[in-house]
Chain A
Amino acid sequence: MNATMQGNSILQLESLAGTKFADCYQCGKCTAGCPRSAHMDKTPHQLIRMVQLGHVEAALKAGAIWQCVSCETCTTRCPKRVDCAAVMDALRQVSYERGVTSKQQAAVVLFQKAFLDSVRRNGRMNEIEMIVQYKLEGFAAIRRLGFLLNGAMLAPRMQMHKKLHIVGEKVRDRGVVRRIFARCMDGTE
């Protein structure tokens, strides 16, 4: 990546996150409060430092961005009002759009995609439809039987507690839902 492209990437991330990377003075409070930092290859303040230094590509490929559970603790506690949770979202969006997400993180991405696909079709998320798509696409990408079967035993218990709804809901005005998705995600219309 040349310097101009790097600069553009940083501006794109700043615009998506609504925050300025230069504001961060690396106190590490975001990382200290992060409940997932122990499982991250790069911690939150390290990711921000990488972008400050122009290592955008490496930040986009970090597994850490898919470990974030969006609890907003980092954003809440930042003394410089850097919206760290929004930075995570921005890195994920650009990583997803450029298709540079690592294979280990496939499950997290495919889950979110299955969720949005279901909403796009129905206007509301249909749990069973979403889970079927997630499991099938995830299995195709990860190729572990355990992935396919994990959690399957919950289904009968959910049925017993009347928590399993086979037929999902659809909104009446699905046309507007499809148009909203097209305008936001496909850049069409």
Chain B
Amino acid sequence: MSQRVNLGYYPGCSLHGSSDDYQQSLTACFGALGASFKELDDWICCGATAAHMLNRKLSIALPARNLALAAQQGCDELVAPCSMCSMQLKKAQRAMAMDAALAEEIGIIVEAKPGGTRVLNLLQAFDRVGMETIKAAVKEPLKDLKVACYYGCLLTRPPEVVEFDDCEQPESMEKIVAALGATPVKWNYKTECCGAGMTLANEEAVLELSRMILADAAAHEAQCIAVACPMCHVNLDMKQSAVEARYKTRYDMTIYYLCDLVGLALGLTPKALGIDRHFVGRKA
């Protein structure tokens, strides 16, 4: 195996809360790939939807504080596996890069100087490990598994902020899934939004949006959906029975974090990856 990859790690509140099955999967999967994560010491919440909805300055300051901690701790590359966190970190970076007066004001507010740490989403973290390393590590190819690769909203949007893949027709997740021996399906809802952090605030919106995603994946004969965001997983997995009850239908669609599928192909057990903690049972 090629040389060890050391990356900084910003879990965000979800991965230390009800989505800690995602963290369990990440740690096991990247560990098996020879990459290690060093958690950012004393990180704070990125502010998520709540901050950008109610106070713009706070929505820049909270991520900026974390970027400053990363700089202080000598972290050049920071993996933020939640799409909301990674987008907010990158958005704050861009806002400060484009407005020197704002950058100075934010520096005073957060009592430190945010640095130019490179923020990586889950797919970029896999990219950092390298496709060849992943391919070489596959022990149990996921033959015959049809996967709908779901990017959701903030992995590719807004494009000038996240600077990642094609914002309307991304393919990076399909490439990884194909490298595992599985079959990515062609479908229409891979960049539609699931309602993200509105699960509690506007449940009706989340149920409607998630239903369309589940229905389209099923219509294209996917056996499971792969996600790269804790909120996508909550809405499609934990809320799936609520969607089924609301629309009087049944999907029984397994929702995997992308690292679950990589981990399974590497020969890790579902239990080691935390897959047994999902609400909807597994298919792979």
Contact = CB atoms under 8 A, between A and B. Distances in A.
Determine chain A's interface SS by DSSP, over half rule: helix
Interface string A136-173: 00000000000000110010011001111100110111
A161 B277 contact: yes
Contacts of A177: 44
Contacts of B42: 123, 171-173
B209 A125 contact: no
Nearest to A182: B109
B195 A176 contact: no
Contacts of A71: 153-154, 157, 192-193, 196
Contacts of A93: 53-56
B20 A163 contact: yes
B118 to A, nearest CB: 21
A157 to B, nearest CB: 7
A185 to B, nearest CB: 5
B43 interface: yes
B45 to A, nearest CB: 4
Given A93-B56, A176-B111, A184-B55, A115 B61 contact: no
Interface residues of B, number: 52
A134 B200 contact: yes
A32 interface: no
B202 interface: yes
Interface in B4-19: 13, 16-19
B158 A72 contact: yes
Contacts of B100: none
A115 B192 CA distance: 25
B48 A180 contact: no
Nearest to A117: B50
Nearest to B161: A72
B280 to A, nearest CB: 11
Given A35-B192, A162-B277, A119 B201 contact: no
Nearest to B198: A69
B205 A73 contact: no
Contacts of B265: none
A123 B41 CA distance: 13
A180 B110 contact: yes
B229 interface: no
B187 interface: no
Given A71-B193, A113-B54, A180-B110, A127 B18 contact: yes
30 contacts: A36-B205, A39-B205, A69-B198, A69-B205, A70-B49, A70-B53, A70-B153, A71-B153, A96-B54, A109-B54, A115-B48, A116-B47, A116-B51, A116-B55, A119-B45, A124-B16, A125-B45, A125-B48, A150-B203, A161-B279, A163-B20, A163-B21, A163-B238, A168-B17, A173-B42, A176-B65, A176-B110, A180-B110, A183-B61, A185-B55
Interface of A: 16, 18, 35-36, 39, 66-67, 69-73, 75-76, 83, 85, 89-90, 92-93, 96, 107-109, 111-113, 115-116, 119, 123-127, 131, 134, 150-151, 154, 157-158, 161-165, 168-169, 171-173, 176-177, 179-181, 183-185
